[in-house]
Chain A
């Protein structure tokens, strides 16, 4: 047995272990990693949309005298693009695949692969997670919502790459059963966006629709005009709310008192005055005065007032209107729709949006890069709301390719200090809980089994971090924010215990019992977790562990692995 993780000449060894590519740690490969600060990945294929992003971002750098950070290393960039596009770090094999490729347009090829058929399932799973949180929050206690149903709809939708405008239309107009259960014959998971938001006349449906799809914060205008955004008035809240008044969530019981599922339907709405041809609603001003509201979209477009669903009189004369369908039509043709999604996705990939918060447009909150925001919105529309195109432009742009290091030239670009973001470096950020979970499974090559069961397991794991705020708006937050509970979970949680187990068949045991020399085994762990090789000092520490474990290399590897999974470098997207 070797007694240290020595720096010897390495042999190329075939991949004798399933899933672990051992040849990658051989001399040649390791060398490229350590020194890989090659040309930025953006250089390889510039389409006009990417050029547009680069120009706009560079113009701001020039104006503010900023020098962008150097390019991220290939390993860093590869890790980043996996995390942001499919929600997990690359496996060893994937990392090697990218790093060994010498083609000039390898960055583009990687992005296209991640957005293509090979990764369709993982892409869909990741974006279904992201949108589940956006659409129904993290709280798992709302009985009017079925998380599985929501996720099922979302993953199918992202798998099929449904254009964003159609996606929004489907969510706003969905009818049917919200859970995929026996007896629920008209399953439509899209109903879950609204099924839990219809209480009290659909106040939440109104607020969330405006916030998520149009980037407008209207929740406070329920009771009064917006205090800062002169563009949003109280009457507009209720006029928007009127569009939801035909929607009803009917609870279906499982024989007992438990809600088995919710059926979302549209019904005739007689209005609060009892006259369905007017179907008005009332709301109260601060001074007690009662006012009337009819469905009017935020841009002032009125629709016929009837509360009756479409039908035909015996003489063939059509009557009535479906208010949600009208709303969806107006939302998807609103100029705010593409802006809101561009801002949201930009923030997803770059860490900050063009406004803060990302879903609060208005004169009170000017975007940092207005031309870029409008330009990308316009281009997205030209591309028929194809989100994958937008993602591709962003991740292949220059700002996405930069290192996260603070250097003299980019130091003033400090959004964390309240400065407007100028994207002169990549802003490091915590992985989302979902990303960390999936990345731990990836790093440890854990068998994920059945997809639905895997999703439920993940939900259980995530639920330990959820805090509900106890308001009717269903606000919630997560303790997965770098605080002590998260550190405890990474120190001692089940997931980590499993990951650091030496049980046969596990990743760690495969590495430990494999034919590699000790030094190469350490390299494998570093590459799997951090997409780089250890430094001399780190190697020295690893050797100290080997000594402490009295030469039991497997146990020392266990310790190194634990340390890597607990490091900033692992838990940050940087």
Chain B
């Protein structure tokens, strides 16, 4: 794609944007990169107002959902927590989640998750992809799939379509490095952004780089170099984007920052809201520390649940207030949950057979509970749901067709969400 010289850019007033004119004037990344130049020139104002997004609140380590969303008071397995009523009729959750309780009319609890992967690594992989780990193929995670499906609809997006705040995400698998998560810290500081040279000169350097890359890639060394080249294009787009401001949580008013919580998870949730506002289709915010093999109840009551409660409730309320919730799916989950039996160290161990996740927003039915576990919490007594069922439900809530299928690198067709069934009770 060639631009006439001296073409005026549609966006004015941002000094950084000057860079675009330099790039546009050259064919540095011509050929495979033409879409890159095109989107550089797209006007941010053209951003589709009603883009869909999803925010995954990832609870690394496996949170005890019996102590949060599906309490069993009075049972030997129940632990000491009481339940409280919520803004959703007939739904009660842990007493240590009072703020989120006020937002439950926006959310839905699935109490009938039943999975088989109770090892951290395997569980993290399975819950992120809908597939059990397989040495022969790497599957794309939620973020990569959703970014891949939705990014095209958001032409003017200049920052990566899959942002992971605090890491812990699973990558892009066979979709390729270009769909890997962009990992940032919760402080929102993206390292090494400053070019330190004139835009014109960077453009010239990129052209030199293109010559070196062309030669190497012409020698047929497999997919790796091509993936890297795509990432380089994305990086240039990111470096020069005014959308980078979305990462700057510190620019939010103090009152808002306090509402989300002045900690990494609070800042991460706030950043997620800001990123969704500029059109990022998938944001994952990581909160670790749920692997409570010992002393679980003090840890939950004093540290983990207050931190979760504050940020999660603020996020849901904020999205609702800004009219973003109807287009933004929220998913809360960990890799598994924890044993109903309380062990000798006052902790709970890994457990995948009967547990809960929470969803909300977008096309989800809200203010409901789906499924049920036995009185002691050891069994799902309604229809059990799997990771792929949950993933199918999330994709449906975002309007992504479930007939979509990919071809893995080995040529095998792969159904999106591993062919999971939509959880019908979650359909609004």
Contact = CB atoms under 8 A, between A and B. Distances in A.
B177 A485 contact: no
Interface string B191-227: 1111110000100111111011111110111111101
B140 to A, nearest CB: 14
B208 A559 contact: yes
Contact of A538 (B119, B201, B215, B231): B215
Contact of B288 (A428, A430, A470, A571): A470
Given A488-B192, A497-B196, A574-B221, A471 B61 contact: yes
Nearest to B294: A200
A574 B225 CA distance: 11
A144 B20 CA distance: 50
Nearest to B170: A477
Contacts of A537: 211, 214-215
B409 A416 contact: yes
A222 to B, nearest CB: 8
Nearest to A219: B119
Given A220-B118, A406-B222, A563 B135 contact: no
B408 interface: yes
Interface string A203-243: 00000000000000001101110010000000000000000
A492 B196 contact: yes
A489 B180 contact: no
Contacts, number: 205
Contacts of B410: 414, 417-419
Interface string B227-244: 111011011001100000
Contact of B120 (A475, A489, A574): A475
Contacts of A105: none
A67 B29 CA distance: 35
Interface of A is mostly: mixed
Interface stretch (A18-26, A28-36, A540-548): A540-548
Nearest to A569: B216
A560 interface: yes
Contact of A416 (B61, B223, B339): B223
B293 A200 contact: yes
A484 B160 contact: yes
B221 A406 contact: yes
A569 B219 CA distance: 11
Contacts of A569: 212, 216
B231 A545 contact: no
B215 A470 contact: no
Contacts of A563: 205-206, 208-209, 211-212
Interface stretch (B150-158, B343-351, B393-401): B343-351
Contacts of B225: 428, 568, 572
A554 to B, nearest CB: 14
Contacts of A574: 221
Contacts of A479: 167, 183
Interface residues of B, number: 80
Contact of B231 (A224, A365, A419, A484): A484
B221 A284 contact: no
Interface stretch (A53-61, A115-123, A254-262, A461-469): A461-469
B224 A568 contact: yes
B84 interface: no
B201 A559 contact: yes
A482 B234 CA distance: 12
Contacts of A542: 208
A250 interface: no
Contact of A483 (B116, B180, B220): B180
A538 B212 contact: yes
A469 B168 contact: yes
B7 interface: no
Contact of A493 (B134, B192, B235): B192
B61 A472 contact: yes
Given A223-B349, A467-B168, A492-B193, A284 B341 contact: yes
A470 B116 contact: no
A488 B190 contact: yes
Interface in A544-571: 544-545, 548, 559-560, 562-564, 566-569, 571
B222 A469 contact: no
A481 B180 contact: yes
Contacts of A540: 211
Nearest to A555: B201
B118 A483 contact: no
B424 interface: no
6 contacts: A418-B137, A487-B228, A488-B239, A492-B194, A493-B192, A538-B208
Given A417-B408, A419-B136, A497-B196, 10 more contacts: A418-B137, A469-B60, A469-B288, A483-B177, A483-B231, A492-B193, A538-B208, A541-B207, A568-B216, A574-B221
Interface of A: 200, 219-220, 222-224, 227, 282, 284, 288, 356-357, 365, 404-407, 414, 416-419, 427-430, 464, 467-473, 475, 477, 479, 481-485, 487-489, 491-493, 497, 535, 537-538, 540-542, 544-545, 548, 559-560, 562-564, 566-569, 571-572, 574
Instruction: Name the 7 nearest CB pairs between A and B, nearest first.
Output: A470-B288, A467-B167, A418-B136, A470-B60, A563-B208, A568-B225, A220-B119
